[in-house]
Amino acid sequence: MKSKDSSDCTVQALFDELKALEEHLKAHGPYVNGQNVYSVDMSLAPKLYHLEVALEHFKKWSVTECLSHVRNYMKLDPFLLPVVQGSILVIQLNT
């Protein structure tokens, strides 16, 4: 995403990947594996947060409205917020 060449297709490639995530969340969400938070969500949430911040700063681009499930996922659960902010995370186990 560092490229200044607008024809390098990186934005389109990113959009294609986000569209795939959109379709998955639409079918299986609200989290990647369904109704419960798993390690994949704890790994993905900070990456999407960094993506959002970096794209806005460097490319003046944000996740579009047409990716509503991805946008909702990014702000869905305050449970994921400590992971994004680097705070201590307490995991609630389902028993």
Distance CA 82, CA 61 (A): 25
Q: What is the pLDDT of residues 41-77, one digit of tens each?
A: 888 888 888 888 888 888 888 888 899 999 999 887 5
Number of domains, the chain: 1
Mean pLDDT score, 79-85: 50
For residue 77, being part of any structural domain is answered with yes
For residue 2, being part of any structural domain is answered with no
Average pLDDT of the chain, as a whole number: 78
Residue at token pair 């702000």: 75
pLDDT of 86 above 50: no
pLDDT of 8 above 90: no
Instruction: List the one residue out of 6, 95, 94, 88 whose CA is nearest residue 42.
Output: 88
For residue 58, being part of any structural domain is answered with yes
For residue 60, being part of any structural domain is answered with yes
Q: Which one-letter DSSP state was computed for residue 55?
A: I
Residue at token pair 């996922």: 73
pLDDT of 17 above 90: yes
CA distances from 45 to 2, 62, 91, 92 (A): 22, 16, 15, 17
For residue 3, being part of any structural domain is answered with no
Report pLDDT for 89.
Answer: 47
State which residues form the domain around 42.
9-93
For residue 66, being part of any structural domain is answered with yes
What would the two tokens of residue 61 be?
Answer: 């681009």
Provide the CATH number for the domain around residue 33.
1.20.1050.10
Q: Bigger pLDDT: 1 or 76?
A: 76
For residue 24, being part of any structural domain is answered with yes
For residue 89, being part of any structural domain is answered with yes
Under 8 Å between Cβ of 71 and 65:
yes
